[in-house]
C-alpha cells in the first residue's frame, strides 16, 4: 500500500532465507539418509537407498463440539504447522502465537521496548491503523480543496471544479505515515505504558504465571489426511473412562462421519452412513488438492470453502479460492437425502457474481470444484466402511473469470 512495508531486522532476503529454513519440509514426514554421499551414489546406481522415514508421531484430541482435533502439545503443534501448515491456532490468525503476544504485552508494560519482530497480528493492526489514518488525511485534503474552490468562487467569481485527485490529495502510493514509525511507536508505547502503569496501581494487575490457553486446531479433513496417509497423527478420545484411548482408523472413519449425522434428539439411534456426508465431500476435495501439492486452508474470510496456497500462507497470498459444489449422480438420491448439503443446488447468478467480485477484489481466482456423489443404486453399503469409496467420487474444476467484452479484447 502506501508507507512501504516496514522492513525490520529481517529485510527481504534474510526473511526469505529464514522462512525457507523454518518451513523447509512440506510434510510432517522427513526422509533422512545416514550414509555418506559416496555410499549414496553407489547404492543409487543400483536403485537402492538407505534412507529412512522419520515420523514425528504427533497426538491430538478429538472434540465433537467444535468438530475438530486439538493438538495441545507445543512440540506437535510446531511440527504440524511448520511441516505443511496444518491447522490453525485457535486464538491467532494462523500460527499459534497467543502466548508470544501475551508475553510481549507484559514485557512492553514493564520496559519500553523498541521495534522487535512483530507477530502477524501486530502487523495487521498496524496496517489497519495506517489505512484509517490515510483515509482521514485524504478526506481532510478533499474537504480543503473543496473549501478553497468555494472561496475562489466567492471572491473572484471564477468557477473551479474541486479535484478528487491531484498533487495535493494523498493517494495510495504517495501517502506516507505522518509520524515516523519509531516516533509513533515510542509515543504510542509511552502512552500505553503510562496508562497501563496507572491500571497496575489502581486495579489488581495479577502478574501471575501465564498459562498457554491456546491449541492448534485441525479440521477433521486435515486430521484424517495426516492419520490415514502418513500415520503421523494419533487421535485420542478424551471421553474414554480412565485414560485417553487412541482411536483406530476404522473408528476415526466412522466417528468423523457420524458427527454430521447426529440426530436432533439424542435418544434416537444414529442413522447409517450416507454417501453424501459432508465429511466425505470435503475430504475428497481436501485430499485432491493436497495430493497435488497445494496447501489447503479455510476460506471463510473470502466467502468460499477453501483457499489454495502454492507453498504456504507465509510465502505468498492464496491465488485460488475454492467453492465446493456437490453434485448427485442420481438426482433421486438428492430428494431422499437426510444431510443438508450446502451448494448442492445450483446457486443464483447474483450469488456467484458476489463471490466472484469479492475474490477478484483481493486478486484471487474463483474455482468451482464439482464433486460427483456416486449413485446409491450403484454402490453397496459395504463400500462406505472404508475410504475405498473415494474411488467412486470424482472431482472436477471450473475456473470462473468475469469477461467484459468491451474491455477484454486480447
Partner 1 sequence: MLEIHPSYPALASVAEKYPTHRGSLFQTYNDILLAQQWRDVQVIDLARCKRGAIQGRRPRTAADADLLLHIVPCSLAESISLAWIQDVFAALANPPSIYLAVVSDDSSIVYYKLSSGIVKPSI
Phi and psi for 380 in degrees, rounded to 5? -85, 160
Q: Which residue is catalytic, options 23, 309, 328, 393?
A: 309
**What's the grid cell of residue 161?**
471544479
Size of the site for partner 1 (CB under 8 A): 34
User: Judged by CB, which is closer to partner 1: 299, or 374?
Assistant: 299
Residue 309 appears among annotated catalytic residues: yes
Burial of 216 (0-12, 13-18, 19+ CB in 10 A): buried
What is the distance between the alpha carbons of residues 45 and 38, in angstroms, rounded to a whole number?
11
Containing H/E element for 372? strand 365-373
Per CB under 8 A, which region of 106-114, 150-158, 213-221, 378-386 contacts partner 1?
213-221
What is the distance between the alpha carbons of residues 253 and 387, in angstroms, rounded to a whole number?
8
* Inter-CA distances, 59 with 92, 94, 142, 279, 329, Å: 21, 20, 58, 21, 38
Q: Are 130 and 170 in contact (CB under 8 A)?
A: no
Residue 176 appears among annotated catalytic residues: no
Per CB under 8 A, which region of 110-118, 216-224, 346-354, 379-387 contacts partner 1?
216-224
**What's the grid cell of residue 133?**
489514518
Site for partner 1 in 330-389 (CB under 8 A): none
User: Judged by CB, which is closer to partner 1: 16, or 317?
Assistant: 317
What is the distance between the alpha carbons of residues 173 and 131, in angstroms, rounded to a whole number?
12
Verify binding: residue 65, partner 1, rule CB under 8 A. Answer: yes
User: Judged by CB, which is closer to partner 1: 195, or 345?
Assistant: 195
Verify binding: residue 213, partner 1, rule CB under 8 A. Answer: yes
User: Judged by CB, which is closer to partner 1: 91, or 249?
Assistant: 91
Would you give the DSSP letter of residue 211?
Answer: P
Verify binding: residue 217, partner 1, rule CB under 8 A. Answer: yes
Per CB under 8 A, which region of 60-68, 109-117, 164-172, 283-291 contacts partner 1?
60-68
Residue 368, helix vs strand vs coil? strand
Verify binding: residue 61, partner 1, rule CB under 8 A. Answer: yes
Verify binding: residue 78, partner 1, rule CB under 8 A. Answer: no
* Inter-CA distances, 145 with 55, 166, 171, 227, Å: 65, 10, 14, 63
What is the distance between the alpha carbons of residues 384 and 391, in angstroms, rounded to a whole number?
11
Verify binding: residue 300, partner 1, rule CB under 8 A. Answer: yes
Verify binding: residue 85, partner 1, rule CB under 8 A. Answer: no
Per CB under 8 A, which region of 111-119, 133-141, 171-179, 267-275 contacts partner 1?
133-141
**What's the grid cell of residue 328?**
448427485
Q: How far is the CB of 91 from partner 1 (least distance, A)?
A: 4
Q: Which residue is catalytic, options 11, 17, 317, 381?
A: 317
Residue 226, helix vs strand vs coil? helix
User: Judged by CB, which is closer to partner 1: 88, or 288?
Assistant: 88
Per CB under 8 A, which region of 7-15, 32-40, 192-200, 366-374 contacts partner 1?
192-200
Containing H/E element for 31? strand 30-32
- Please list, in sequence order, all residues whose beta carbon lies within 8 angstroms of the beta carbon of residue 246, skipping any fewer than 6 positions away: 234, 235, 236, 237
Verify binding: residue 218, partner 1, rule CB under 8 A. Answer: yes
Residue from 139, 147, 163, 190 that binds partner 1 (CB under 8 A)?
139
Verify binding: residue 48, partner 1, rule CB under 8 A. Answer: no
Verify binding: residue 70, partner 1, rule CB under 8 A. Answer: yes
Q: Which residue is catalytic, options 364, 370, 381, 392?
A: 364
Residue 317 appears among annotated catalytic residues: yes
Q: Are 122 and 189 in contact (CB under 8 A)?
A: no
Q: Where are the beta strands (DSSP E) in 119-247?
A: 216-219, 233-237, 245-246
User: Judged by CB, which is closer to partner 1: 44, or 188?
Assistant: 188
Verify binding: residue 286, partner 1, rule CB under 8 A. Answer: no
Verify binding: residue 298, partner 1, rule CB under 8 A. Answer: yes
Taking alpha carbons only, the member of 319, 323, 318 closest to residue 304 is: 323
Verify binding: residue 211, partner 1, rule CB under 8 A. Answer: yes
Q: How far is the CB of 220 from partner 1 (least distance, A)?
A: 7
What is the distance between the alpha carbons of residues 280 and 342, in angstroms, rounded to a whole number?
13
Q: What is the contact surface with partner 1 in residues (CB under 8 A)? A: 61-63, 65-68, 70, 87-92, 98, 135-136, 139, 192, 195, 199, 211, 213-214, 217-220, 222, 238, 297-298, 300-301
Give the residue numbers annotated as catalytic, written as ranges.
Answer: 309, 317, 364
Amino acid at each position: 500500500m502506501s508507507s512501504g512495508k516496514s522492513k525490520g531486522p529481517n529485510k527481504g532476503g534474510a526473511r526469505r532465507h529464514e522462512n525457507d529454513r523454518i518451513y523447509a519440509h512440506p510434510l510432517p514426514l522427513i526422509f533422512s539418509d545416514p550414509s555418506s554421499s559416496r555410499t549414496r551414489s553407489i547404492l543409487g546406481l543400483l536403485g537402492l537407498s538407505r534412507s529412512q522415514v522419520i515420523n514425528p508421531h504427533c497426538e491430538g484430541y478429538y472434540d465433537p463440539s467444535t468438530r475438530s482435533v486439538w493438538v495441545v502439545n507445543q512440540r506437535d503443534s510446531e511440527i504440524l504447522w511448520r511441516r505443511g501448515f496444518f491447522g490453525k491456532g485457535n486464538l491467532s490468525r494462523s500460527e499459534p502465537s497467543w502466548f508470544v503476544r501475551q508475553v510481549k504485552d507484559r514485557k512492553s508494560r514493564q520496559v519500553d521496548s523498541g521495534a522487535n519482530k512483530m507477530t502477524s497480528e501486530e502487523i495487521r493492526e498496524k496496517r489497519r491503523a495506517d489505512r484509517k489514518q490515510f483515509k482521514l488525511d485524504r478526506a481532510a485534503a478533499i474537504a480543503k480543496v473543496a473549501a478553497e474552490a468555494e472561496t475562489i468562487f466567492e471572491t473572484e467569481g471564477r468557477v473551479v471544479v474541486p479535484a478528487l485527485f491531484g498533487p495535493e490529495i494523498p493517494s495510495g502510493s504517495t501517502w506516507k505515515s505522518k509520524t515516523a514509525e519509531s516516533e509513533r511507536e515510542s509515543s504510542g508505547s509511552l502512552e500505553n505504558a503510562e496508562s497501563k502503569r496507572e491500571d497496575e496501581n489502581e486495579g489488581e494487575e495479577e502478574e501471575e504465571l501465564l498459562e498457554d490457553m491456546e491449541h492448534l486446531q485441525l479440521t477433521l479433513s486435515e486430521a484424517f489426511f495426516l492419520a490415514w496417509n502418513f500415520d503421523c497423527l494419533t487421535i485420542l478420545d478424551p471421553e474414554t473412562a480412565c485414560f485417553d484411548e487412541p482411536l483406530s482408523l476404522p473408528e476415526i472413519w466412522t466417528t468423523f462421519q457420524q458427527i454430521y449425522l447426529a440426530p436432533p434428539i439424542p435418544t434416537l439411534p444414529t442413522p447409517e452412513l450416507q454417501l453424501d456426508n459432508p465429511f466425505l465431500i470435503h475430504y475428497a476435495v481436501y485430499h485432491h488438492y493436497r495430493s497435488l501439492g497445494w496447501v489447503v486452508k479455510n476460506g471463510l474470510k473470502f466467502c468460499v470453502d477453501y483457499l489454495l496456497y502454492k507453498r504456504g500462507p507465509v510465502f505468498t497470498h492464496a491465488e485460488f479460492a475454492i467453492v465446493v459444489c456437490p453434485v448427485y449422480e442420481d438426482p433421486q438420491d438428492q430428494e431422499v437425502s437426510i444431510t443438508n448439503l450446502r451448494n448442492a443446488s445450483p446457486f443464483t447468478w447474483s450469488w456467484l457474481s458476489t463471490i466472484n467480485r469479492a475474490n477478484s477484489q483481493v486478486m484471487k481466482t474463483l474455482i468451482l470444484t464439482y464433486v460427483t456423489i456416486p449413485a446409491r443404486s450403484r454402490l453397496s453399503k459395504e463400500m462406505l466402511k472404508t475410504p475405498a469409496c473415494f474411488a467412486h467420487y470424482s472431482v472436477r474444476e471450473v475456473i470462473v473469470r468475469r469477461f467484459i467484452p468491451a474491455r477484454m479484447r486480447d
